Structures are given as C-alpha cells and as structure tokens.
Amino acid sequence: MSKNIKLRKGLDINLVGRAERTVAERPMAASYAVSPLDYENVTPKLLVKVGDRVKAGNALFFDKNNPRVLFTSPVSGTVSAVNRGEKRKLLNVVVDADAVQEYEQFESTDLGSASREQIVETMLSSGIWTRLVQRPFGLIADPEKKPKAIFVSAFDSAPLAPEYDFVLAGCEKELQRGFDVLARLTDGKVHLSALAGREGFVAGIKGVEHHTFEGKHPAGNVGVQIHHIDPVAKGEIVWSMNIQDVAVLGRLFLTGRLDMSKTVAVAGSEIDKPQYCRIIAGAPVRSLLDGNVRKQQAGAAVRIISGNVLTGRKVEADGYISADADMLTVIPEGDRYELLGWAMPRFHRFSVSRAYFSWICPRKAYRLDTNLNGGERPFVVTGLYEKYLPMDIYPMYLLKAILAQDIDKMESLGIYEVLPEDFALCEFVDPSKIEIQQIVRDGINLMIKES
C-alpha cells in the first residue's frame, strides 16, 4: 500500500546551527499575538477591544470575506493591544497571558456519531480551521467546499528545519485523532507522506494513505508531494495541514480544549545553543531567544526569521513568531561591501555553481548571511531552475507567463500546483537575483482576482 517516491531534483543547503535534539521548556510568556498577516488574502474584522478578557480558544477577529472563519486566542488573558499600520491595517492583536490558563470548552464531539457539519463547526469556532490550507493558491480552506483529498507532510526538508519524528514522538494518540477528524472532511483520501527511513513515528497511523519520499529539499513541501501523488487540476481543490497542527486538532477533539502548544526549533548560525523549545503558538520572539543569540561585532546585526531561511518571514526582536512557523532562525545580516567579491575564491560562501568552490567540500556547513550577492538582472541562464523544482513544470515559462499576465498560459503551465515556497530554491540559486517567490505570489493573486 505504501508507495516510495524518489526525487532526484532539489538541494539541501547545509547551514551551521542545527537544533540539538533537546527540548527546553519555556515559561509562559507575558503576551501572545495573533496576526492576520500570517495568512494570505484575509480581511480581518475585530471582535474584541483592548481590555477584553478572553479564554484560550475565544475569537479575536474574523475574515470579512469568509465570516465563518474565526481567528482565536491561543492563551487566556486580557487583550492588551490592537496594533495597526498604515491605513489602519490590522497588524496583530496582543493578549497578555494569565498565569493560570483557562480554556474555552468545545463540545468534545464523538467522531462516530457527529455529522461532518458539526465537526466543521467545532473546527471553525475553535480557530483551528485557519490552519487548513487550500490548494490551489494557499488560502485558508473554504468551509463551504469539500476537497478531493487532504495532504499532510510528516517531514520538513528546508534548511535547519525541525525533525518531526523527534518533535512529535509520543503524540501518536493526538495524531491519530487528528487524522480521524481530517478523514471526515473529505470523501477522498488523506495522504500522509513521510521521509523514507524516518517514517516510524507515523507508521502506526490508521485510516490514511501512507507514502514515503526520498530526496533533497523541497521533497518535504506538501506541494511537491501533491504533484507526485495526485496533482491538482483546474477546478479541483485539495487541503493540507501542518502535522503539528494535526496534533493540535487531535487534542481539541480528545479534550475539547484548544491547546496550541507546539515544539519549535531555534536554530541558525547566530544561536549560541541551537535546540528545540516547547511554546504556545504566537509566542514573543524574545521569549525564545532570551540570551541565546551570539554576541555580534560592533555594527553587525542579525536577522531573525520566523520560519526557515528560504520562505520565512523577517521579524523584529520585539515581534512574535508567526502562526505557520515551526522554527525560528537567526543568521547574520549581510549589509556590508565585499571588495572584488565576485572575483574572489570565496571559500566561506556557498554556491551550487562550480564557478565557486563549494563543490570541493560538499559536507561543509556554511554560515550564510543575507547579502543578495549581486545585482538584479534579467533572466539569462537557462536550465538552472528546472534542477531545483521537482515537478513536471517549466519554471521559467511559468514565471514569464505570470510577468506577461497571461492567465491561460499560467493555467496550462501549472499555476494551480505551485505556491511561492516551491520556487524558493530557484530564487536561492538564481544568478540574476530575481524575486521569484514574489512573482509567483503576484501570479496567484492575479488568478484569485480573475476567478
């Protein structure tokens, strides 16, 4: 039944600062935040004001485009700030956490007798629904629709990413319950893809279709897995969920409480002691870093990334970890000049091209900074992006179709099957330094507008 899929394309970037397999328990932080900016195409409408009391699982705001989709507080406490940016755009809602947590009690639905609609309702009102991602386009799942299948990736192949077989060890019960719930949402299958050789921790899960993948990043991207298992055609919808959120979903249906605790990796070359931390979603970055960042030389700064180095969001030291992030990465900023850099051997920098010398020591771990390493140019090289996108898609043609805003071409070339994250490696290797993920994002937004 289980199928092994081997991918030859891709790239593992070996960075310094992989998290050690130890978990540090973090004390409850002073405040937690929920941000609509962690989701695409959400128009938030507030349901609380500063000073309101909320329990864990109470709604803070909802999406105007889809009023049933609620965004709930991960902790109980008092709403202490509603931060807005330009044009009063909602940035986040901050909740000061109580010392002793109170949980909103949701119906601990009996899966056997509950209808699909009841299950959906519980998921919506608890806020866990927001963690269901709909493809095409990577939006929050539409509760009025039924997907042809649901996909969960049991491994993350991005640089320094958390290892889920460690993170989720001992969570079989929650996971099983979570997958049972997912199975009720679709008439099709629930596909669970693990890394070949590391599938042990999910091997016992019942009621799902097991797959194993072999290969380099982006083999762990759920989009790549969908492409190889059951690709999305025009007019079809599939959903996906992060596997840690499946555990949260399982806990919700076991206990009736929204317990948003998860284990995140704190990694990167500028972390003193890279390790895992047990936190509640929306925790402040400071509570995670907390004296664990290496001292920098005068004038040098670090970049804190909520997520991995390829697709994560930049956050400030006083910010909060984003809802979709399972890791926090800290790397040096690269805002300095390099004399004749392009002509130098540059042994300390990484390149997939043998125009540099990374090929001499393939196992070396690199301390890479955020320098763009060149100026933006038009597309020149060919045949390069293809090597880092393990899909039956012509990346450059798709990108050019997007730039030309040619909807028909975008459809035929595979826009329904991709998200910006799938193109992250193409962007990394590109010697023309083109903002490829942004182009894909723009293409998807255009498709949403036109449909």
Partner 1 sequence: MGLRNLVDKMKPTFSKGGKLSFLGSTFDAFETFLFVPNTTTTKGAHIRDCNDMKRTMIVVVMALIPALLFGMYNVGYQVGMTGFEAFWFGFLKVLPLIVVSYVVGLAIEFGFAQSRGHEVNEGFLVSGLLIPMIMPVDVPLWIVALATAFAVVFGKEVFGGTGMNVFNPALLARAFAFFAYTPQMSGEKVWYAAVDGADAVSGATALESLSTSGTLGVHAVGGEPISACDAFLGLIPGSVGETSTLAILIGAAILLFTGIASWRTMLSVFVGGLAFGYLFNLLGVTAYPPYLHLIVGGFAFGAVFMATDPVTSAQTDKGKYIVGFMTGALAVIIRVCNPAYPEGMMLSILFMNALAPLVDYFVVERNMARRNRRIKTVK
Q: Is 187 in the site for partner 1 (CB under 8 A)?
A: no
Q: What whole-number distance in Å separates Cα of residue 143 and Cα of residue 333? A: 41
Comparing CB distances to partner 1, the nearer of 12 and 338 is: 338
Comparing CB distances to partner 1, the nearer of 127 and 218 is: 218
Q: Is 298 in the site for partner 1 (CB under 8 A)?
A: no
Task: Candidates 56, 93, 120, 413: give the one binding partner 1 (CB under 8 A).
Answer: 413
Determine the distance from the C-alpha atom of residue 296 to the mean position of all C-alpha atoms in its chain, rounded to a whole number. Answer: 28
Residues 310-349 contacting partner 1, CB under 8 A: 310-312, 314, 329, 331, 333-343, 346, 349
Task: Candidates 4, 105, 405, 438: give the one binding partner 1 (CB under 8 A).
Answer: 438
Q: Provide the 3-class DSSP secondary structure of residue 293.
A: strand
Comparing CB distances to partner 1, the nearer of 148 and 210 is: 148
Comparing CB distances to partner 1, the nearer of 135 and 349 is: 349
Closest approach of partner 1 to the CB of residue 162, in Å = 17
Comparing CB distances to partner 1, the nearer of 168 and 425 is: 425
Residues 3-62 contacting partner 1, CB under 8 A: 13, 15
Task: Candidates 81, 114, 293, 429: give the one binding partner 1 (CB under 8 A).
Answer: 429
- What are the residues whose beta carbons fall under 8 Å from the beta carbon of 256, sequence distance 6 or more? 105, 106, 107, 108
Comparing CB distances to partner 1, the nearer of 110 and 408 is: 408
**Hey, what amino acid is at 360?**
I
Q: What whole-number distance in Å separates Cα of residue 304 and Cα of residue 314? A: 6
- What are the residues whose beta carbons fall under 8 Å from the beta carbon of 287, sequence distance 6 or more? 26, 27, 29, 279
Comparing CB distances to partner 1, the nearer of 81 and 365 is: 365
End-to-end CA gap in the chain? 37
Residue 118 is encoded by which pair of tokens? 């009841």
| Contact yes or no for 295/327 (Cβ under 8 A) | no
Comparing CB distances to partner 1, the nearer of 298 and 339 is: 339
Q: Is 161 in the site for partner 1 (CB under 8 A)?
A: no
Residues 346-405 contacting partner 1, CB under 8 A: 346, 349-356, 368-383, 386, 392-394, 396-397
Between the alpha carbon of residue 203 and those of residues 63, 192, 207, the distances in Å are: 37, 10, 11
Task: Candidates 40, 98, 209, 236: give the one binding partner 1 (CB under 8 A).
Answer: 236
Q: Is 84 in the site for partner 1 (CB under 8 A)?
A: no
Of 290, 327, 344, 358, nearest to 166 by C-alpha is 327
Q: Provide the 3-class DSSP secondary structure of residue 120.
A: helix
**Which one of the spans 32-40, 111-119, 282-290, 427-435 is the region binding partner 1 (CB under 8 A)?**
427-435
Between the alpha carbon of residue 449 and those of residues 76, 334, 405, 442, 446, the distances in Å are: 37, 36, 12, 10, 5
CB neighbour class for 64 (10 Å; exposed up to 12, middle 13-18, buried from 19): exposed
Task: Candidates 309, 315, 399, 419: give the one binding partner 1 (CB under 8 A).
Answer: 309
| Residue showing tokens 């960042």 | 293
Closest approach of partner 1 to the CB of residue 372, in Å = 4
Q: Is 433 in the site for partner 1 (CB under 8 A)?
A: yes
| Contact yes or no for 416/398 (Cβ under 8 A) | no
**Which one of the spans 50-58, 192-200, 230-238, 318-326 is the region binding partner 1 (CB under 8 A)?**
230-238
